[in-house]
Amino acid sequence: MEKTIFESIINDKKAIKFGICNQQYFIYEPANLVIDFTFSHEGLPNNKFSYPNQRIKLLVFPISNLNINLPLKSVGVSTRIIVNSDNSDYAMTFLLTIDSYNRKIKVIICDLPELGLYNLTDEEKNGIEIKY
């Protein structure tokens, strides 16, 4: 990712910033949905391979199914999430989009990192899409 893009996102108070391993719950109020987005630079648990084949996870469920009190960040129809935000060379952004008409949510890589391109998974390149 270009340094100017990195700096503008880091300084944007609305941008969601992740380190090398984070999980965040979001709320999309118009549809009363909770969105769970997880990123792990090293790969997600239960991964039996040394090369991570899954580093991102996206789950969606109605807010009525949330049975514990979690801090929820509000998102709109398009939200940019920067991961590896503590290292500009490995930083990359994902775009989380919500299509209320077709009832689907998608997350896909938007800005590629300068280093570590070989670590990108098919899910990151092609995105994950969930119908709700």
CB distance 77 to 100 below 8 Å: yes
Q: What is the pTM of this model?
A: 0.84
Going residue by residue through the chain (132 aa), what tens digit of pLDDT does each one get? 888 999 999 998 888 998 877 889 999 999 999 999 998 876 655 555 455 567 889 999 999 998 888 889 999 999 999 998 988 998 999 999 999 999 999 999 999 999 888 888 888 899 999 999
Residue 24's Cβ-side half-sphere holds a number of Cα atoms within 13 Å equal to: 21
Where in the chain are the domains?
A: 3-131
Residue 95's Cβ-side half-sphere holds a number of Cα atoms within 13 Å equal to: 12
Residue-level pLDDT at 132: 92
Residue-level pLDDT at 111: 92
Residue-level pLDDT at 13: 84
Residue-level pLDDT at 46: 56
Distance CA 63, CA 122 (A): 29
CB distance 129 to 59 below 8 Å: no
